[in-house]
Amino acid sequence: MSQLKQRFQQYAAQHSPSDEAISADGSVKPDWRYMLDSLATLGDDELAERQHKAKRILRDDGATYNRYEQNTRSQTWGLDLLPLLISADSWSVIEAGLQERADLFNLIFKDLYGKRELISLGLLPPELVFGNQSFIRACDGLQLPGENQLIIHGVDMLRREDGSMCVCSDRLQAPSGLGYALENRVVMSRVLPSLLRESQVHRLTSFFQVLRQKLISLAPNIASPRIVVLTPGPYSETYFEHAFLANYLGFSLVQSGDLVVGDGFVWMRTLNGLTRVDVIVRRVDELYCDPVELRADSMLGLPGLIQVARAGNVAIANPLGSGFMENPVLYRFLPKISEHFLGRQLRLKSVATWWCGEPDDLQFVLANFTDLVIKPVAPHTSNSANSYTSSNSKMVADLTDRQRAELLSAVKENPHNYVAQEKLLPSYVPTFNQQELVSRPVILRSFSVASEDSSYRVMPGGLTRVGAKQNSTAIANRFGAVSKDTWIIASEPEKHEILSSQLGVNDGYTEGAELPSRVVENLFWMGRYMERAENSLRYIRTLFMQMNGIEQLPTDCKSVLLQAATQLTSTYPGFVNNTPLQNDPDAELLSLILDRDRVGSVTYAVSSLLSCAEQLPGLLSSDSQHIINNIADQIDTLSSRLRGDFLSAPEEPLGSLISNLLALVGIVNESMIRDTGWLFVELGRRLERASQTASLVRALLFTHFDDSQESIILESLGMTVESLISYRRRFGGSLKINSMLELVLMDASNPRSVDYQLKSIVNTIYALPRERRTTELSAQLRFVMEAQSKVQLSKISQLCRTDQDANTRSELDQLCAQIHQLLGEASNAISVEYFTRVQGPLRLLQYSGSTG
C-alpha cells in the first residue's frame, strides 16, 4: 500500500464531521475514490514531482497574487494538487441557486438606478442605499444594451453542516478570480492530464465563450467591436489575472493612460494613432473611474468616461455603481426583496444577517453578542477588491474583554452602522501540506456571467481556497490561503474540448497595430535596460579582473579604469577626480552594483528592466518569464553573494547574471514574433549598445598612456565589448589602439561595433510603421544617419593622434561625444513620434464657488 493511501486512511479516521471527502461513517465518499486512488497509484515521489511541476508552471506563467500591504515582490499563486470535487447532482442544485441569485441582483441593480421601488415600497431603508458611497448618483439611468446589467457575478460560499451551501458574500463591482480559476485548470491539465480527463470533469471553455460573446454583444452596432480589459496596473493585487484573462479572451490589456476620451468616444493609443474602444471590462474600482464625475483625485480613471457611457458609445462591464450591492446589510432585506421580484425565496441562502438599525434586530444582537460576527455597514474607501472580507469584520468570541466592550458600545452608539452575522462553520477538505495530508477549511467562489439570451450561465467549477491553518477563520489570499481547482464530476463523459491558451479569434496582442503605445514604450526600454545592465556588469567585472590581477595596476591606469566606471554609468561625481575614493574603491563599486535607488547602478538597471517586463504580460513567452524570474532571484541574492570576500571572486555571481541577461536577449530574439513590438526591443538594445560603447571608448582612451599601461586599458575595452578574441584572431597578440578602434568603432562585421549597431538601427527604423510616409527622412533617421556618417568618415589615424602639448586625444573624444549625443537625440525623437502622451498633466479645475 502506498504511503499516500495509508495517510489517507489515517486522515479519514480522524476526519472532521463536515469533511467534503469523508462520509459520516469514516469511509471515503464515492465521488472522491477514483481521484484519490489514482493519486495514490502515482506514488509519493511522483506526486511531489507533480506538485513541484505545478509550482514551476505557475511561476513561469507569471501567476502571482500581489499582497499590496506588504512591500515585497509579488508572490507566486499557490495551487494544491488535490482538487475540490463536487458531484454533478449536487452541483445542479447549486447552479440553479446561483442563476437565480444573479437574476435577483440584476433586478436590484436595475431598480435602484431606475424606479427605486425598493425604497418607495419600503423594502430597503433609504439610508442603506443613499448612505452608501458606492451608490453612484451619476449612474442613475445609465444602461447597458440588453436585459442584463450585471455581466459578472461572483459568489463566495461555504458548506453548512446540513450539506447546503450558504453564501457569505456577493462580488459585483469587479469580481476577481475568474482568471485564477482558469489558470488553476490549465495547470492541472498539464500536471495531471489523464486524471483530469478520466475523472469526467466539466470543462470551462464554453463558459468563457459565453462571457466573450456577451461582451461582444454589448456593442450591438459594431461589426467587430474592440474590447479592452482596464487594469489599475502591475501593482494591483490581481494584475496577473487581468493580463491572463485579456490574453485568453483575445482582448487588449490597458491602463487608464492608454485610453483617452475624444469626440464622444473612448480611444486606445496605439502606434498607429487612436483606435476606438467599444467595451471596457473594468477591473478598476468604480469610484476611481472618472475624475470629472467621481473621485477627483483618481489617477486610475478616464476623465469623461461616464458621459461617453451615457451616450451609449462605450459599454462598461460590470457597470459602474454595482459595488454598493456588496454591502452585507443587503442580506437582511434579501428575503423580502426576493419575494417581491421573484415571488419566492432564494434557493441559495445567504448568511443570517441582522441590521442593528432595526430595533428588533438590535435587541437580538445585544442578547447574542458573543456568538456573532460584527461588520460595519459603511463601505470602504479603499481600492481593494476585498471589501467586506474578514479584515473589517470582527468575530466577537475572539475579542478580548476590552475589545468586546469597545465594540459593544460602538454598536450601541451607532447601531445603524453595524450588521451582525451568524458565525459560519466551514466544511473541510483534504489538502497537501508538503507531504502531509491535512484538513483545511474551504471556501468556494463561483461565477455567473450574463449570456446573450439574457439568462445567467454558471461556471462549472470555480475558485476554491483553503485556509492556511486548520482553524483559519479568514480564508483569503492575503491571509496566505492556497487555492485548488474545482472539479464538477459529470455523470457521463463530456465532449472533449481543448483548453487552448487563447480563446476565439486573435484580436488581442497579435498585431503590432493593436499594441497600446505604453506597451511598445516598455518594450523599447526593456531593450535599453537589458543592454545597459549587461554593459555595466561587463565593465565592472572587467575592472575586478584587472584589479585582482597578479601584478598591481599602475596608479594612473587604475585611476582611468575607475573613473570610466563612473562615466559609463553616469553616476557622477563617483571616482572622477577623487583620489581617496580611487585608493579605496570597494564601497563605491559595491554601490554601483547593488544600490537599487542609485540611477545608473546595475541593480537599478535590472529593476527597471523587470518593471518594464511587468508591463508586458502576454507578450513574453513562459520561457522568457522563467529567465526573468531567475534574474529577479539573482538580484535579490546578489548583495549577500557579494559580501565578505567579494573582492577576491566577484566574477562568478556577476558572470551568472550576465549569462541570464544574455539568455533573455537570446530568447526574446528567438521567440518574439517579428512585429512592431520586437522592432522596438531591437531598437532599444542597439541604441543603448552603440552609445555605451562610444562612452566607454571615450572614457578609456581619451588619455594617452605609455604602451604597457595602454595595453591594459585596451584589454579592458576589448574584454568589456567582447571583442578581445576577435582582436587576437585578427591582429595577433599585442594590443594597438588603431586596430582596436577599427574593430570596436568601424568594423561592420563585428556585431559589437558601433558601426554595426548604427546600421541595424537604420534598418530597424525603416521598418517602423510611421516611417516612409513621406520621402523626407524622419528626425530619428537623420540623427542616426548623421552619427553613422561621422563614424564612417573618420580616419583611424587621426582618431589615434595625440594632441599637441597634451597627452589627450581630442578628435576621438569629439567623435564619441557626438555619437552619444546624436543617439540621445534619436531616442528622444522616437519617443516623441511613438510614445509621447499627447496630453499634458491632468489637472482638476473647480469654479471657485458661490460667493454671494
- Among 68, 1, 87, which residue's Cα sits nearest to residue 491? 87
Q: What is the 3-state secondary structure (H, E, C) of 653-719?
A: HHHHHHHHHHHHHHHHHHHCCCCHHHHHHHHHHHHHHHHHHHHHHHHHHCECCCHHHHHHHHHHHHH
The nearest distance, CB 278 to another protein, in angstroms, is 17
The nearest distance, CB 261 to another protein, in angstroms, is 7
The nearest distance, CB 298 to another protein, in angstroms, is 10
Residue nearer to another protein on the CB measure, 311 or 397: 311
Residue nearer to another protein on the CB measure, 733 or 840: 840
Residue nearer to another protein on the CB measure, 6 or 120: 120
Neighbours of 763 (CB within 10 A): 12
The nearest distance, CB 235 to another protein, in angstroms, is 23
Return the SS3 of 171.
strand
Q: Contact, 190 vs 184, CB < 8 A?
A: no
The reply to whether 292 sits near another protein by the rule CB under 8 A is yes
C-alpha to C-alpha distance for 285 and 543, rounded to whole angstroms: 51
| Among the residue ranges 290-298, 347-355, 597-605, 704-712, the one whose residues contact another protein (CB under 8 A) | 290-298
- Among 249, 231, 222, 250, which residue's Cα sits nearest to residue 313? 222
The nearest distance, CB 735 to another protein, in angstroms, is 55
C-alpha to C-alpha distance for 725 and 718, rounded to whole angstroms: 8
The nearest distance, CB 270 to another protein, in angstroms, is 18
Residue nearer to another protein on the CB measure, 30 or 852: 852
Interhelix angle 586-594/517-547, nearest 10 degrees: 160
Q: Contact, 142 vs 321, CB < 8 A?
A: yes
CA separation (Å) from 419 to 19, 343, 378, 451?
30, 26, 10, 34
Residue nearer to another protein on the CB measure, 78 or 125: 125
Residue nearer to another protein on the CB measure, 552 or 850: 850
Neighbours of 236 (CB within 10 A): 22
Residue nearer to another protein on the CB measure, 138 or 425: 138
Sign of CA dihedral 109, 114, 120, 126: positive
The reply to whether 359 sits near another protein by the rule CB under 8 A is no
Quick one: which of 72, 400, 774, 848 contacts another protein (CB under 8 A)? 848
Residue nearer to another protein on the CB measure, 413 or 436: 413
Neighbours of 145 (CB within 10 A): 13
Please give the backbone phi and psi of residue 365, each rounded to the nearest 5 degrees, phi first.
-65, -45
The reply to whether 846 sits near another protein by the rule CB under 8 A is yes
H/E stretch holding 167 reads: strand 165-171
The nearest distance, CB 419 to another protein, in angstroms, is 17
C-alpha to C-alpha distance for 511 and 674, rounded to whole angstroms: 10
Please give the backbone phi and psi of residue 677, each rounded to the nearest 5 degrees, phi first.
-55, -50
Residue length of the chain: 852
Residue nearer to another protein on the CB measure, 733 or 849: 849
Residues binding another protein: what is the number (CB under 8 A)?
37
The nearest distance, CB 131 to another protein, in angstroms, is 5
In the numeric block, the cell 458609445 is attached to 313
Residues 822-841 within binding reach of another protein (CB under 8 A):
838-841
Residues 299-338 within binding reach of another protein (CB under 8 A):
303-304, 307, 310-311
Residues 556-615 within binding reach of another protein (CB under 8 A):
none
Residues 81-140 within binding reach of another protein (CB under 8 A):
119-120, 122, 126-127, 130-131, 137-138, 140
The nearest distance, CB 118 to another protein, in angstroms, is 11
The nearest distance, CB 839 to another protein, in angstroms, is 4
Residue nearer to another protein on the CB measure, 114 or 163: 114
Residues 386-445 within binding reach of another protein (CB under 8 A):
none
The nearest distance, CB 266 to another protein, in angstroms, is 12
Residue nearer to another protein on the CB measure, 122 or 549: 122
Residue nearer to another protein on the CB measure, 30 or 141: 141
Burial call 244-263: b when 16+ CB within 10 Å, e when fewer: bbbbbbbbbbbbbbbbbbee
Residues 132-191 within binding reach of another protein (CB under 8 A):
137-138, 140
CA separation (Å) from 582 to 473, 630, 714, 720, 807?
59, 33, 20, 20, 21
C-alpha to C-alpha distance for 331 and 329, rounded to whole angstroms: 5
Quick one: which of 402, 495, 729, 843 contacts another protein (CB under 8 A)? 843
Residues 224-283 within binding reach of another protein (CB under 8 A):
261-264
The nearest distance, CB 389 to another protein, in angstroms, is 25
Binding site for another protein (CB under 8 A): 119-120, 122, 126-127, 130-131, 137-138, 140, 261-264, 291-293, 303-304, 307, 310-311, 838-852
